[in-house]
Structure 1
């Protein structure tokens, strides 16, 4: 059981380090433009699954809060969002195209495990036309960048409402 004192200590530890967007507004604006460009032509629910999965891997609570809420607002089910962290064991919840996108997301996000395997790339390429695949790769790269801002500056989850800007 968590005591009130432990809760206060935990909350203090989770306070944002800095409002990075206020201190680097041109970078923030560029990220918004890049995010908008990267997500063109991608199905919104698929895109949210990708953003959630990358954010899970990167432990970005702020982005998880944002993208789970956006996914729900886009019509995604709670069950599929909950199962996403165990997608490999819960494959029946997702289409083959979604699985290819999720697997590619993991490979691009966890580059410390090595290069993106040919089999993973080829599976994604079988489900996405080249232009759409390029957009997907861009969207994965962008959410990873957002995650790094969020994690590094300890952006606080819990305040986002769907439809708000990042």
Structure 2
């Protein structure tokens, strides 16, 4: 089945995933779950889900977008704030300075355009987060990007996930 992408090219869409990596490499899955649990216990749930949605949008992981949108709503985020994430820099007053800095860092780490996180991005976040606080969003961004890569590589399809349910990728 094909669909038209936003840039006008045809994109092939295959509605089935490739392999059940969770069962083939259970130790990798356990390590991912362990890291995910750590970041979840050290960040505000709303901020964490906003960062996860931001990274999942960039990574084009529909499965992860579904999971994290549901998680954001369960954490009390509004539909408006979640919907505006793709243009997070534009709506003034929608996000706090800390949230904007964390979203900027999320984009910088996820994209790595110049092969590194620009100093102005890092400095902006470092001015708003303590050193310990800063380590947690960085870890969260690394973890969500790893989950996104699994989701995209395995063509995991969205749907069927309930907020707070055990995650099987």
Please indicate, yes or no, whether the TM-score normalized by the shorter chain is above 0.5. Answer: yes
d(CA) in 2 for partners of 1:11, 1:115: 32
CA deviations over 1:20-46 (Å, ceiling 9, x no partner): 111111110110001112333211100
Question: Which structure 1 segments of 5+ residues have no match?
Answer: none
Report the secondary structure of 2:42's partner residue.
Answer: coil
Q: Counterpart of 1:132?
A: 133
Counterpart in the other structure of 2:106: 105
Report the RMSD for the aligned CA atoms in angstroms: 1.9
- The DSSP-based 3-state class of the residue aligned with 2:155 is coil
The CA deviation string for residues 60-93 of structure 1, in whole angstroms up to 9 with x for no partner, is 0010000000100111000000000011112421
Q: Which ranges of structure 2 fall in alignment gaps of 5 or more residues?
A: 4-10
Higher relative contact order (CA 8 A, sep 6+): 1
Give the count of matched residue pairs: 160
More helix by share: 1
TM-score by length of structure 1 reads 0.90
| 1:14 CA drift (Å) | 2.1
Q: Distance in 1 between matches of 2:129 and 2:41?
A: 14
Q: Distance in 2 between matches of 1:12 and 1:115?
A: 32
* Paired residues of 1:48 and 1:71 also in contact (CA < 8 A): yes
Q: TM-score, normalised by structure 2?
A: 0.89
- After TM superposition, give the deviation of residue 159 of structure 1 in Å: 1.1
